[in-house]
Amino acid sequence: MFSNLAIDVALGLIFIYLLYSLLASVVQELVARIFNSRARLLTKGLRRMLEEEDHSKDLGWFGKFTFFNWFYELGWSIVYFFEPFRHSPFLKKFYTAPSIRNLGKNSAAARPAYISPQIFSQTIVHLLRSSCRAHLEEKAQKDPGTETESPFTFKLTDAQAIRTALTHNYLHLAPDVREHLLQLFEDSRHDVKAFRINMESWFNETMTRTSGWYRKQTQTWLLCIGIGIAALFNVDSIAIARILMKDKNVRTEMVQLASSRAPAYTAITDTLIRKNMLHKDSAFYRTDTSLRVFVKDTSLIGVYAMLRNDAGDARNVLGISRACVIDSSSGHRIMHCGYTHPFQQNGWLIFAGWCITALAISLGAPFWFDLLGKVVKFRTTTPPNDSTTTH
């Protein structure tokens, strides 16, 4: 068994980063559910697909620079948070279609967080077909001489209705979106089933990129939450590393704590993060188009409470905390609040330690969980005998 200073210090730090990464992930997931972030980002992805959304041209020459674009897009994100269908008439029609509207959970989460490619293509076909027939019906009502009582008596096939709706743009699609749908329809040789398959491929490509947006957003949230957690729980990486290097008893207790908590963290990492938060399909669509959630809100709160307790145990082992001391040496009772550990006397070093912790948390719990497993496996490996033969 390998057991030396460097390995034990690394094991202790990795355990601390895993513990607080899990805690940050639970907080991030609760925030995402409160603000319905997955559904909002899904709407953003669909807006990119179905509407003309190029705000950079409004900036003129400044639109060529990423710096100005970032702030401008941030402003539009705030606008879309309160008005998701602003300047997006077709997107509003898409979300009010029964096939999409019925996927919503309730009035607070009216927009679904998951849409399957099949439901997407079906909804687009229904909208195109119904718009053509509605237009023909309206035309028939304006012209009494037309021999029809219903738009269906025109006996248009689905392919003819779709082509007519796209040609005359009855849904008032953005020019580039209309042109793209027309090209997909021509590529399918006017076969509706092939047209739907083409749209599903288009949807899948867009959702792959949207999933990437969500991962980047999650990492940003983890970094912000990580700074807050590091400051709140006083997770000073520099001080923790120095304590682990100097105190053998602390190292031993941290290794024991990591070994005892690893099985519980396996379930949390696999169920909450790998299969739910970071699964390639979980953020936006699933094949069953349902709104299933792998971990309920009550379970998340229970996991949060457990991690808070573990954080308290780790803090007690390390012995780093804040405290208020009453000083009466000058004849007056003066209360001083600060850090009690001798390794936390420099404010700049403490802040640097918090920043290191926040950066570590932003890497995510799966990274630290996998690394912890590798270090534990290496530590428990029996080294070969270094016997030398003397002749």
Task: Report yes or no: 343 and 239 within 8 Å, Cβ to Cβ.
Answer: yes
Task: Report yes or no: 115 and 103 within 8 Å, Cβ to Cβ.
Answer: yes
**Structure token digits, residue 194:** 């092939």
What pLDDT does residue 285 have? 40
Average pLDDT over residues 337-364: 87
pLDDT tens-digit series, residues 106-120: 554 578 888 889 999
**Structure token digits, residue 360:** 């570590």
Average pLDDT over residues 246-256: 89
- % the chain with pLDDT above 70: 74
**Global pTM exceeds 0.95:** no
- In this predicted structure, the answer to whether residue 279 has a pLDDT above a threshold of 50 is no
Collapsed DSSP state (helix, strand, coil) of residue 323: strand
Alpha-carbon radius of gyration of the chain = 29
Average pLDDT over residues 226-240: 92
User: How many CB atoms are located within 10 Å of the residue 132 CB?
Assistant: 25
Strand partners, 253: none
